[in-house]
Structure 1
C-alpha cells in the first residue's frame, strides 16, 4: 500500500482517492500511525489527524486495538413492504389497510389548491394552524414547527444537522428498519438500548450515553417492531437520565400518533438543548403522503429550515393542501379514529388466538404489528419458512436486531381478520409443537 503526503490534508486526500478507486478494499487495515509517520518522515500527530478526518468522512473506521480500516460502503438493509403479486398472505409488510385510508383526492378537492411559486411561504398557513393544534399541547411553549418528507426523512435531516459519520445514536433494540437503514447510510453507529414491555430501559440508556452516544432516537408509542408504549413512569425515568446529558439530541418518533390508542408521554427533559418531536401522516393517510411535522427547539428548526428553504426543497404544497384537507375534515378524521379501533381489535384478536395455543405475544402494544417471542431454542428463520409453505409471510426478529435478539416474529395485523388470525395461530401452534 503506497500512501503519500506531507500534511494531514494530503494524506487524507491520497487515501480517499485510493479507497474510491477501489485500490483500498473495505476492511483493509491502514498502517499504524507510528509506522506511517516514520515512513513519511513526519510527525505522528499529522498522521493521526489524517486518520481522524478519514473516520469523520466515513471513509475509515477505528477498531480500537485492531487499528484503523477502510469502511465498507453503506448499503440498505431490509425494507418494509412486500413485492406485488406475492401469493402469500402479507403479515410482514408493515403497511396500513388500504381499505381504511381516507380518500386524498376528495380532501384535496374540498380544501382547494393554488399553484405555489418560488418565494411563497414554506408552510401552508391553514396547515400550520392545524399542526399547532395537534402538536402544541405536547410541546414546550417556545417550540418551532417545520416539515419534512416523512418521519425517516426528518430523522435523516436531524442527524445531518448535528452529527458526523462515526457518531453513535442510542436506539431501541430491536429497532425500526427505516431507522437502521438511515444510520447505515449516514455512517452513524447504533448504540443499542435494551427494552422491556414499557420501552427503553433507563439503565441501558444510561450505559449507551456513557459510551458516547450523541443522540437518542426513541419511539414513545407503537414502537416498531414490538408495539410497546412508554408509560408515564418510564418516560419520567428516561427523562431523568437524559437530564444528566443536556447536550444530547433527543428525537421522539411518534409515527403512529394519528391512530394511537395509547397516550403520549415525552422523555425530553427541560434541560435538553436540542430536541424534536416527529409526527408523520403516513400510517393514517397512507405511505405515499410523504409528510411529517417536526416540533423542535428554535435552533434545530433553523437548521432544518435551511434545508427546506423556499426555492430549494420545500415540502410540496400539493401534498400540504391534501394533508390540510384531511386533517381539517371531520369525516376523514372520524374514519381515522375508526381505523385505529379496527387495528386494536385485530391486534387483540391475534393475541387471544396465539394465547389459546400457549404463545404469549408482547403486551401491552399498539400499532400495526404484534411481536411474538418464540419458545427457547426455536429457529425463527425455519419457523418463517414453514409459515410461508402454509401461505403466510412474516418477518423474523433478527431483521430488527442491533445486537443479539431472542428468536421472535413480527406479525403485521392491519389486514388480518379475526377468522384468519385464528387459523394462523392454529397452524403456527401446531408447527411449534411438532417441530
Structure 2
C-alpha cells in the first residue's frame, strides 16, 4: 500500500490522486492499490466510485486488474525487436535480409541530385506516390489516397491509435509478428488471437473475434512472420466474406514483402469496408535502415493519418523518400528484386528440404526468408541447446499474442543460409530434439 494516502471523493479525483502517487514515486510498477471495498470505506464513498476510478486508471495505462490478485500499478515494457546473434554463433535469428541481395544505395544516392526541402513542402514524394499507385491500381477496386510513414510498425501504430480507444479489441494472427502484438499491448488495446493455417488467417476464428467485438483486424497477406504463409485466393475470398458483415471494422494489411514475394497479393479487405489501409514497407528488400512505408487507404483514414504526420512535426524525410523512390524506379530494380525473390525462395526451400530429410516437420508453405519449426514441448530448451552447438535461432514464444492457442516453435531466418550449412543445421536440430 502507498505510504501516502489516496484521496478524493469522485472517480476523477481518486484516479488523479493515484496518478500523482505514481508520478512522485509513492506507487511503483507492481505495487497493488487497495481493494475497492477497502478504499471506498476509507474515503467514505460508494464502491462503484472507486471501481470507476480504477477503470480510468486502466484506460490510462497506469494500472491493470488481475482478477483475484486485485489491481496493480503497471509500467510499459519495451517492444521486442530484431537483434543480431551473439558473437561466435551462426545467425539464424536476426530477421535480416541478405546484404548481397539488396540494391546499391550508394549508386542511387549519387544519382539523386537532392535539394533541401523546407517546411510547407508536400508530405509525400510524388515519385513514391506514383510507384504506390502503379503497384496498387490493378489490385484495389476502390479509390484510395497515399501516405508515407516511418516504416510498417509506425504505420500500424498510428492507424490503430487514430481509430481506436484503449481497451478496444484487435484481431491479430496467431502466431503474429512480435511488433504487432507489442503495439496492441503498449497502446492499451486487447488482442484477439486468430489462428493461422497453411492458407492464412482462419475465417471462422476471425468471425468469432468480430462477433466478440473486435474493432480492427491486422493481418499479413504475404510472407507472414513468423510462419511464411501467404493468403491463397480462396482464403482471401473467405475473409472478405466474413469482413463484409462488419463494414465498420478497421482492416489493416501489412504487405511488408511485396516487391520480392513469390506469391501474388490477394486482397482480404472487401469493397464495403469503410476504413482500411494497405501498408507496403521497404526494409526487407531495400534495407532495414530505410525506414519508410507507403500506405494506400480510404480518404478518411488518410486524413486521420495525416493529422499525425503534419509537416513541421513528424513528416517522413523527403531525402529518405526520394532515395527510396530512386531505388524502386531504377533501371535495374526489376532485376534486383527478381534476384532477391529467387535467392530467398531457393534458400528457404533448401532449408525445408534438409529439415524434412532430417525428420523435422515444417508444416507451412513458406514465402519470405523465415521458416517456422513447431516445438510442441516448448522452444526454450531447444533454443538453448542450439546455442550451445553454435546456432542462434529465435524463440517462437515472442510471436504468441496473449491467449494464443498456436503450437510453440522456432523462427529460423534462412536469408543467408547456404545448402551445406542448412544441412548441418538440420542435422543439429534433429539431434537436439531427439536427445
In the other structure, the counterpart of 1:17 is 20
Contact 2:132 2:296 in 1 (8 A): no
The within-5 A match list for 1:53-68 is 53-63=56-66, 66=68
Q: Report which stretch shifted further, 38-47 or 136-145.
A: 38-47
In the other structure, the counterpart of 1:310 is 311
In the other structure, the counterpart of 2:209 is 208
* C-alpha separation in 2, matches of 1:33 and 1:266: 48
The within-5 A match list for 1:280-299 is 280-299=281-300
Q: Secondary structure at the match of 1:303?
A: helix
Q: Secondary structure at the match of 1:110?
A: helix
RMSD over aligned CA atoms reads: 2.1
Q: CA deviation at 1:383?
A: 1.8
Q: Secondary structure at the match of 2:260?
A: coil
* C-alpha separation in 2, matches of 1:389 and 1:45: 55
Q: CA deviation at 1:44?
A: 5.3
In the other structure, the counterpart of 1:190 is 191
Distance 1:388 1:27, change over 3 A: closer
* C-alpha separation in 1, matches of 2:63 and 2:14: 13
Q: Secondary structure at the match of 1:322?
A: helix
Q: CA deviation at 1:319?
A: 0.5
Q: CA deviation at 1:223?
A: 0.4
Superimposed CA distance per residue, residues 291-313 of structure 1 (whole angstroms, 9 cap, x where no aligned partner): 00111111110011011112221
The within-5 A match list for 1:87-166 is 87-166=88-167
Distance 1:145 1:381, change over 3 A: same
Superimposed CA distance per residue, residues 214-239 of structure 1 (whole angstroms, 9 cap, x where no aligned partner): 21110111000000111111112222
Q: CA deviation at 1:143?
A: 0.9
Q: Secondary structure at the match of 2:372?
A: strand
In the other structure, the counterpart of 1:274 is 275
* C-alpha separation in 1, matches of 2:94 and 2:431: 24
In the other structure, the counterpart of 2:380 is 381
The within-5 A match list for 1:381-420 is 381-402=380-401, 403-420=404-421
Q: CA deviation at 1:208?
A: 2.0
Q: Report which stretch shifted further, 280-289 or 48-57.
A: 48-57
Q: Is there any run of 5+ residues in structure 2 with no aligned partner, and where? A: none
Q: CA deviation at 1:417?
A: 0.9
In the other structure, the counterpart of 1:372 is 373
In the other structure, the counterpart of 1:323 is 324
1:8 equivalent in alignment to 2:40: no
Q: Secondary structure at the match of 2:191?
A: strand
In the other structure, the counterpart of 1:80 is 82
Distance 1:384 1:36, change over 3 A: closer
Q: Report which stretch shifted further, 404-413 or 259-268.
A: 404-413
In the other structure, the counterpart of 2:340 is 339
* C-alpha separation in 2, matches of 1:71 and 1:223: 35
* C-alpha separation in 2, matches of 1:32 and 1:5: 16
* C-alpha separation in 2, matches of 1:249 and 1:70: 31
Q: Report which stretch shifted further, 266-275 or 148-157.
A: 266-275
The TM-score with structure 2 as length reference comes to 0.93
Distance 1:28 1:154, change over 3 A: same
Superimposed CA distance per residue, residues 309-342 of structure 1 (whole angstroms, 9 cap, x where no aligned partner): 1222111011011011111112133111211110
* C-alpha separation in 1, matches of 2:142 and 2:189: 32
Report how many aligned residue pairs link the two structures.
430
Superimposed CA distance per residue, residues 112-132 of structure 1 (whole angstroms, 9 cap, x where no aligned partner): 211101111111222221221
Q: CA deviation at 1:396?
A: 2.1
Q: CA deviation at 1:243?
A: 2.0
Contact 1:231 1:265 in 2 (8 A): yes
Q: Report which stretch shifted further, 204-213 or 145-154.
A: 204-213
Q: Report which stretch shifted further, 353-362 or 293-302.
A: 353-362
* C-alpha separation in 2, matches of 1:68 and 1:243: 40
Q: Is there any run of 5+ residues in structure 1 with no aligned partner, and where? A: none
Distance 1:53 1:147, change over 3 A: same
Distance 1:214 1:21, change over 3 A: farther
Contact 1:19 1:70 in 2 (8 A): no
In the other structure, the counterpart of 1:70 is 72
* C-alpha separation in 1, matches of 2:38 and 2:380: 46
1:240 equivalent in alignment to 2:210: no
* C-alpha separation in 2, matches of 1:310 and 1:381: 46
Distance 1:46 1:389, change over 3 A: closer
Q: Secondary structure at the match of 2:192?
A: strand
